Amino acid sequence: MTEFNIDKLVRENIKNLEPYSSARSEFTGEASVFLDANENAFGSPLDENFHRYPDPLQWQLKVDLSKIKGVPPQNIFIGNGSDEVIDLAYRIFCEPGMDNVIICPPTYGMYKVGADINNIEAREVNLTGDFQLDVEGVLSAVDEKTKLLFICSPNNPTGNNMDRMDVEFLLNNFSGIVIIDEAYINYSRQKPFIQELTEYENLIVMHTLSKAWGLAALRLGLGFASEKIIDLFNKVKPPYNINQASQQLGIKALANIAEVNEHIKIIVEQRSLLQQQLSEFDFIKKVYPSDSNFFLVKTDNANKLYQYLLAHQIIVRNRTKEPLCENCIRITIGTPAENETLIKTLKNYA
């Protein structure tokens, strides 16, 4: 068992950083006349409260999220998409040109892009043949400069959950930060790791409102972690990283959980139906099981199938160039009508 010490992981310049102090965060107490932030006091051409800077810490949105996720608001970070959570993790923990992280392809592309942007070495330890974590491979890739380990579960593009025992083993035996990306957790039978935050000091869990919540355009990505880690994220983020429109609309959407749950139910039903229908085509060599709102299929020729669907105005994701995904296509579950269009179109494919 390795000792976790967050001070050893955080970059020196971040430890010493004096964060930007915004106009609104400098006073405490009641106020009614705001002459501190050089805003236009008359208002905006829009009818809303858009002439004032938004709440830098998005408190109301966090309180509402807290009720849904069962995590206290002070353990929640909201980013401008999950992409911002990923980028901040690099900037807080990884010294450019020196440190490294571990990612497990085939997986979400932003982990590697984030590493490249920040000039961090990404050590790639491929998943096993059945798309599970190569636990020994991961541990042997770790050295004293390894700061982050990215685990995506359910994994994009393979759709499956990572074995919980493996994830727990890595949480217990890797002394850096483990980032578990649960973007697709609403479609999964897996118990979310956000319930384990008090168990693991080195855990960051990511969720997003872009998928099941249907709010991809608002850019609301979520990080859940210890208060110590959340405080670091708040220190380094741009002061107003979540704009007022996204905050207001996010709050409004969270009041409508029933509709979202209905969508999840239909998508999960449509997933089995579509998987069953696809498995009957002879050019589909394998339909992979999924705990997500998409699944992977192995075809006889992914490029050809992709081009055919494109010519019929149906866009899927060609993953043939990813490791372990030769001739694989990733298909997102659409509405019943869209899924039917896909099947009808494929019936004419030869």
Residues that bind ligand PLP (CB under 6 A): 81-83, 108, 152, 156, 181, 183, 208, 210-211, 216, 221
At its nearest, how many Å lie between ligand PLP and the CB of residue 35?
Answer: 37
* Closer residue to ligand PLP (CB): 213 or 306: 213
At its nearest, how many Å lie between ligand PLP and the CB of residue 189?
Answer: 18
At its nearest, how many Å lie between ligand PLP and the CB of residue 83?
Answer: 4
* Closer residue to ligand PLP (CB): 11 or 91: 91
The values of phi and psi at residue 334, to 5°, are -100, -160
At its nearest, how many Å lie between ligand PLP and the CB of residue 215?
Answer: 9
Q: 154, 161 in Cβ contact below 8 A?
A: yes
Q: 312, 345 in Cβ contact below 8 A?
A: yes
Residue number of the CB closest to ligand PLP reads 81
**Which residues make Cβ contacts (< 8 Å) with residue 287, sequence separation at least 6?**
275, 278, 279, 295, 297
Q: 5, 17 in Cβ contact below 8 A?
A: no
* Closer residue to ligand PLP (CB): 118 or 208: 208
* Closer residue to ligand PLP (CB): 92 or 205: 205
At its nearest, how many Å lie between ligand PLP and the CB of residue 86?
Answer: 8
* Closer residue to ligand PLP (CB): 83 or 121: 83
SS3 196: helix
* Closer residue to ligand PLP (CB): 53 or 108: 108
At its nearest, how many Å lie between ligand PLP and the CB of residue 84?
Answer: 7
SS3 146: strand
**Which residues make Cβ contacts (< 8 Å) with residue 345, sequence separation at least 6?**
309, 312, 314
Helix residue spans in the chain (DSSP H): 6-9, 12-15, 59-69, 82-93, 110-117, 135-141, 164-173, 227-236, 244-254, 257-279, 302-311, 336-347
